[in-house]
Chain A
């Protein structure tokens, strides 16, 4: 549709854009005067922690603001037209045609009642660029370019019949179908496993290059943006921190804030001498209904250490945690805790056994009752396990809050009045309140920004030292594993692939699955993806 115009012409030119959001009866600044200049065929990386205004800015590049937001100042020049001044009806002619959007959660963005191909081509057909047959044929070509399996027939499936990574690629095909001039990618791979992420990234990059499309790639993962973007803009609190071509930015970031984003991945843990195991899983089988998900796994967790369990979704790592906690009784095998067999069923375990094993969840949002205050959330285990009450309980809650680097001002807050990192800290405090020996951390940092992640990981390591805690750390993030673990267990399809000290697991030779997993972790090298693809080809 867009007439062939030579590469390099400025397509999107945003000047002094200011956006405000309405909350708590007041207008707050979200974006304060940001400039963007994007040429055809260029990919801009937009990074920053949550609350930096990057998603708002990404949507504003299309002239769109979410309900409760307004553009107060600035220009959004798209191909010579100021979108900030257009009426919604006129802007709609651009949306879905000349500019498209790929959302973070593909699963939540598709209509479950329509076939994929119909949704892929809907806007192309509606705006009359192509006839139905032609559009379908083109969609199949796009599926092929995006490396989807069975490109000719996959479009006939419904959204729930394909995997998350495939759905994310179908969404990219949908965005590509009208051959837009501009695509906004809003954290498109954040929810995916590393091995899937690599495939999605490669196909997105290929297709953007093929059609010379301009794109804005929003993410908080630096290593990912390094693979995708020509230049990177760092945002913080709605202000631009700095902008530079990708290679230059990676080599020598100028601002100290940018440097701090870079330094996150360099956490180190001192190696502690191995001790006797506090918990052992022996020949464990577990199943959901008739589907067996764990096959004779053996894991041993030494006291006072951190054992990281890595694997993709579906590898059985969370199921293992459910067996340890007693939520899912095993079929055979046993869990030995402190030299005694743990009863498989939760109801059969003593209060003391329950107290000594605590769990911290991935989504702090859903792990805390939204109607309880911090005081109630942390106070309940104290009351329940340790029989504390009144001022004794209150002072212990305060102590716990200080332990997690918060203070008394948080006592009467509800979870909704906390930030993501603070929520996770409260969950940690709740687990600590029971004075456990063994803590299961189920993807505790994967929903958080890099900087917040670092804070939480540091806190966990400090607490381990102070309180002699043992962690079973479930994660799919290899860089986290490198940072905090003593021992590593690699799981795939319900089996333990490899197990041992961190140094052993991370140094070759690897079993094939470990090799695949490790090589899929994005590195801070802009050529990493290109090299990897040529290696794997």
Chain B
């Protein structure tokens, strides 16, 4: 913006050529510029969400509905055949989206609530609270998490609630570290000092002054953390201590049908069956990573050279 008179006025100062846009307009603009990979990732995630939400309407059969023919081949009746006790694999794949993804989302969210709040508190308070929390986290992180989770699950029993709590607590250590690290950079800002001088309480400073400014890395971490949680749950289910039958879940589906892979030489379709839940896991992980990559690049402020 130019102003051509020579007297100074605060109103006419340069610097206001940034256009004001609504949030929605900004999102549309970002999407229009997004790379193909990010769009693909978003599409996949949306499809998964849709399938998870409307599973009972999409699936031809019930989640635990048993038919008389175990290991039925692929057919028009059972799209991907049936499993070892005669449950429709296609239906279980669809319900699996709901269970596996749902539990992973809940776990990740819980991990973020625990790790985020403690991380923020440690960054603001510093001193002994920070020391106590950080060293506890160090100890927890020193133990390999999959083994630790196995131990805890066998102590407390493999219920869905226990599964969510245990993985959330173990993963919250990573969230704690990230939140603490990014918050420390924000805590030293003058506006946080200004809020303190005003006499604002801890909750206000956390929620209104710091949290909005550390959202981008946290959102990206949420995506990545979700992938790890998702894989951990699948791994635990594969090992038999995760989500318990008859709940349909991709990890246990891989395990239950794993032996079918030997029959690939006779019937390629039968051999593919255990790979279907495995690829459902893989596809979602890749899709989430694509989106997170794009988001990180966008918020890192790196300008593409032309």
A binding-site residues for B, Cβ under 8 Å: 23-25, 28, 50-51, 67-68, 70, 237, 256-257, 260, 325-327, 346, 349, 351, 354, 358-359, 361, 363, 366-372, 380-381, 384-385, 404-407, 412-413, 416-422, 425, 430, 434, 451-452, 454-455, 459
Contact = CB atoms under 8 A, between A and B. Distances in A.
B209 A369 contact: yes
Contacts, number: 102
A335 to B, nearest CB: 15
B6 A256 contact: yes
Contacts of B13: 419, 421-422, 452
Interface string B5-39: 01111110111111110000000010000000000
A115 B146 CA distance: 44
A419 B8 CA distance: 14
Nearest to B302: A67
Contacts of B189: 366
B196 interface: yes
Contacts of A354: 197-199
B19 A421 contact: no
A497 to B, nearest CB: 28
Contacts of A419: 13-16
A404 B15 CA distance: 17
Given A24-B19, A454-B8, A237 B14 contact: yes
A329 B297 CA distance: 43
A70 B8 contact: no
B135 interface: no
A505 B212 CA distance: 47
Given A23-B17, A417-B20, A405 B199 contact: no
B18 A24 contact: yes
B10 A425 contact: yes
Given A412-B20, A418-B15, A418-B16, A384 B200 contact: yes
A44 B304 CA distance: 33
Contacts of A349: 199
B208 to A, nearest CB: 8
Contacts of B84: none
A419 B198 CA distance: 25
- The contact size tier of chain B is 20 to 34
A402 to B, nearest CB: 11
B22 to A, nearest CB: 11
A51 B198 contact: no
Contacts of A384: 198-200
A351 B19 CA distance: 39
Nearest to A264: B8
B213 interface: yes
Interface string B185-206: 0000111011011111000000
Contacts of B208: 369, 372
Given A346-B196, A366-B190, 15 more contacts: A24-B18, A237-B14, A257-B6, A260-B6, A354-B198, A359-B194, A361-B194, A369-B212, A381-B198, A384-B199, A407-B11, A413-B20, A420-B15, A422-B15, A455-B10
Nearest to A350: B199
Contacts of B11: 405-407
B10 A422 contact: yes
7 contacts: A23-B17, A67-B304, A70-B306, A346-B196, A363-B190, A421-B13, A454-B8
Contacts of B17: 23-24, 28
Contacts of A459: 10
Contact of A417 (B16, B196, B200): B16
Q: Which has the most chain B C-beta neighbours within 10 Å: A23, A260, A371, A420? A: A371
B197 A325 contact: yes
A372 B210 CA distance: 11
A68 B200 CA distance: 40
The 8 tightest CB contacts between A and B, nearest first, are A419-B15, A371-B212, A367-B190, A51-B14, A419-B13, A366-B190, A369-B191, A361-B190
Given A354-B199, A369-B191, A407-B11, A23 B18 contact: yes
A422 B304 CA distance: 30
B187 to A, nearest CB: 12
A413 B194 CA distance: 20
Nearest to A407: B11
